[in-house]
Structure 1
Amino acid sequence: MMFPRLAVFAALVGVASADLQITNPDANHWWVANSINTLAWTCQDNTHPQYTVLIANQDPKVLVQPLAIIAIQNNFDCSKTITEQQSSQPAGTGYTILLADPLNSTNVFATSQPFEIKPLGSAYPTGVTPSQPPATSTGSDSAGATPTGQSQGDSQKSGAMGLKATFGSVVAAAAAAIGFALA
């Protein structure tokens, strides 16, 4: 009797992993080059607690291979403001965003619809007003920036606590699954 319940649990987990989708950008929600843009995804998928965010283009003259714009992104955030530095790709069509395994970027969890990056100064899609990103330390590389007033050590501690919480969530889910299978 334990195996049918375990099979149901496995099927539910499989359905959950299919829920990860990038909702912005898409064909109707473009980005503007060298401007603040929004990345959004469905965050009900708990099978991928973190991923790397990459930008790709179908034209190898534009991008030879996908380029990481966020090294580690937590799934539970559901959206992210992309800074001017992160969206510094040239204007063009055929761009996609990839959410991939942080340890193996060829293992892609979700791919956006193809979208366009419009030239600097272009209007955003109707109804879209990008929010201001949080204040960050100065520097040309936004990947290492930490919130104003927060030291790099504090930032690393926050990241470690997030990983601890993620690991705890995975352990709790596994324990629940075992309890469900044994019941």
Structure 2
Amino acid sequence: MRSTLALSLLVSASVAQAALTITNPTSSSWWVAKSANTLAWTCQDSPSNQFTVLINSPTMASPLAIIAQENNFDCSKIITQDQASQPAGTGYTILLADPLNNTNVYATSDPFEIKALGSAYPSQVSSSASSGSGTASGSGSAASSTSTSTKKSGAVGAGVGVGGMGVVAGLVGLVFGLAAL
């Protein structure tokens, strides 16, 4: 009886650790309307390999799907203005849900704000994504434990997984090349 109880508690603790968590946006890391914005999540020990990304707010009748199927291992995604064009406002949340049953929600973000077009991005967007994520900055440096992005003058940055660092390095080179002109 004791070993059954211990095993049950161990399984319960394991399932609790397998929770998916949205690390960006947060209450202190907003999005800007009609702009490219970063969505980031913990991507280890997820309950699923794929999920649907939805956005919701108190003014919406129901959550709106903005990505039908997203791979969990991506760890972050740039959400374009074509995918999510909600107006400026507060109380928005992002939901990561079962692609076949959107009422089975794996994770819900903290309520966040979408600021008006032209607003400044937060000076630093941090996530607590575990190893496997990287750091994208103006210098193109990389780290292994956090995902950080700085956005200025409308430039878009994103914390991406190691596989996406080549894309980030290419974009940084392009930006600096255009700035030199």
TM above 0.5: yes
1:154-176, Cα deviation, whole Å (9 max, x unpaired)? xxxxxxxxxxxxxxxxxxxxxxx
Preserved contact between residue 37 and residue 87 of structure 1 (Cα < 8 Å): no
Q: Deviations over 1:73-97 (max 9, x none)?
A: 1111111011121231111111000
**Is the contact made by 1:16 and 1:47 (CA closer than 8 Å) also made in structure 2?**
no
Which residue pairs with 2:53 in the alignment? 53
1:91 maps to which residue?
88
Distance (whole Å) between structure 1 residues aligned to residue 46 and residue 33 of structure 2: 32
Specify the alignment match of 1:126 in structure 2. 123
**Contact 2:47–2:106 (CA under 8 A) maintained in structure 1:** no
- The one-letter code of the counterpart of 2:111 is P
Normalising to structure 1: TM-score of the pair?
0.63
* Partner Cα separation in structure 1 for residue 47 and residue 106 of structure 2: 10
Q: Partners in 1 of 2:46 and 2:104 — Cα distance?
A: 16
Partner amino acid, structure 2, of 1:74:
N
Q: Larger C-alpha radius of gyration, 1 or 2?
A: 1
Counting aligned pairs with the same residue, the percent is 60
Between the aligned partners of 1:65 and 1:104, the Cα distance in structure 2 is 14
Matched, 1:102 2:77: no
Count residues in correspondence.
128
Structure 1, gaps ≥5 residues long: 133-183
Structure 1 residue 3: Cα displacement: 5.5
Give, in whole Å, the separation in 2 of the partners of 1:23 and 1:55.
15
The structure in which a higher percent of residues are helix is 1
Q: TM-score, normalised by structure 2?
A: 0.64
Structure 1 residue 13: Cα displacement = 3.4
Which of 45, 62, 78 aligns to 2:75? It is 78
Ranges in structure 2 where 5+ consecutive residues have no aligned partner: 125-149, 159-181
Q: Tell me what 1:35 maps to.
A: 35
Deviations 1:20-53 (A, max 9, x none): 1111001111000110100001111232211000
Moved over 4 A (4+): 1-6
**Structure 1 vs Structure 2 CA RMSD:** 2.0
Higher relative contact order, structure no. (Cα contacts within 8 Å, ≥ 6 residues apart): 1
3-state DSSP class of the match of 1:126?
coil
Does 2:113 match 1:113? no
